[in-house]
Copies of this chain bind each other. A is one copy, B any other.
Amino acid sequence: MRVVVPKETAPGERRVALVPETISKLAAGGYELRVERDAGAAAGFLDESYAEAGAELVERSALYEGAQVVARVAPPSADEVAALASGTLLIGFLHPLTDPEGIARLRERGVLAFAMESIPRITRAQSMDALSSQATVAGYKAVLLAANSVQKLFPMLMTAAGTIAPVRALVIGAGVAGLQAIATARRLGAVVSAFDVRPAVREQVESLGASFLDLGVTGEETAGGYATELTPDQQAQQQAALEERIPDFDVVITTAAIPGRPAPRLIPVSAVERMRPGSVIVDVAAETGGNCEVTVPGEVVEHGGVVVIGTTNLPSLMAFHASQLYSRNVAALLQHLAPGGELALDWEDEITRETCVTRPEGGS
């Protein structure tokens, strides 16, 4: 079974779908691997390492020849889709809920496409859960961005020139990324509070040594562990409570998200304006519109002395480790769908069924 790994073409995307370490495991397990030249360069993986691991390095032009599986990070461009043979197995982030066009294109082409974001959050699928692995990186990176932008030191220091007070950080949305952000901010010495609408989160926040900020809003938790959207009333209440509390904080990191929906608006402009100049907001949800009204996705803006970081695709900024994690997720899914290099799709299986976004009409 020939698996190909293209170099990512999306702007700013430094990750690569499979890293040499995974390649060598797959190569030993019945797969034939072709990697586009320079595919891992931006993440710090050299072509030599790929060759050593057992991949064949090819030019773009020859890449898709005889490809049975394509492993990617971002969705393929229209051109790329056109280059795929019908029935090709495609694995990657495909934005099934937010990019209907792209999906339609794949369907037309007869691609057998599996979206990494659709991996069900069940125990058995944890090793394929790319949303979690990339959110881990994003949560960590968000804190670094904040620490680098804020004019203050995170930890408390008592020195001969007086005492530096610790930074007070607030993490809103304590899912995977939020929890990692809490942990990282605490590591750096900040005093961390966190908030989430799911009631189970309080204990998790405290299990990291942070304190839970009660904004008086509690939402529902779906079977998959996700939050549901708040009612407009609740949303207003949350905004008001936040506006009240937000001036206490030097750093705010927001990660609130509802799958398939635009990010909830949590921080109104008025709240930003109440913050001290020099404070920082990192909006990890920028990609889906942002949790803060001031956020401009992909940009860093200043509003009344407050820096609002809307940088998207944070995992790509830590491409080495992000790729490493993603690569293991992809390999786990591949081995599930085609163990030992033989396609064996079981549509009864929850993972296969839920992750598949398009399949050839008369396909397996």
Contacts and interface: CB of A to CB of B under 8 A. Distances in A.
Interface of A: 14, 41, 43-44, 46, 126-127, 129-130, 132-133, 136-137, 140, 144-145, 147-148, 150-153, 155, 157, 159-162, 164, 184, 187-189, 276-278, 305, 317-321, 324-326, 328-329, 332
B187 A328 contact: no
A1 to B, nearest CB: 22
A46 B275 CA distance: 13
B188 A325 contact: no
B151 A321 contact: yes
A153 B321 contact: yes
Contacts of A43: 151, 278
Contacts of A140: 153, 155
A152 B187 contact: no
Contacts of A164: 321, 324-325
A155 B187 CA distance: 10
Given A44-B276, A129-B160, A278-B44, A151 B325 contact: no
A12 to B, nearest CB: 14
A340 to B, nearest CB: 21
Contacts of A133: 159-161
Contacts of A189: 187
A148 B145 contact: yes
Contacts of A319: 151
A203 B285 CA distance: 45
Q: Choose among A44, A151, A321 the residue with the greatest number of B CB atoms under 10 Å from its CB.
A: A151
A277 B160 contact: no
Contacts of A127: 160-161
A218 to B, nearest CB: 28
A178 to B, nearest CB: 16
A277 B161 CA distance: 40
A144 B137 contact: no
Contact of A162 (B162, B318, B324): B324
A147 B44 CA distance: 15
Given A44-B277, A276-B44, A278-B320, A329 B161 contact: yes
B46 A152 contact: no
A140 B150 CA distance: 13
Contact of A151 (B153, B320, B329): B320
Nearest to A133: B161
A162 B276 contact: no
Interface centre among A43, A140, A276, A328 (most CB of B within 10 A): A140
A55 to B, nearest CB: 18
Contacts of A332: 161
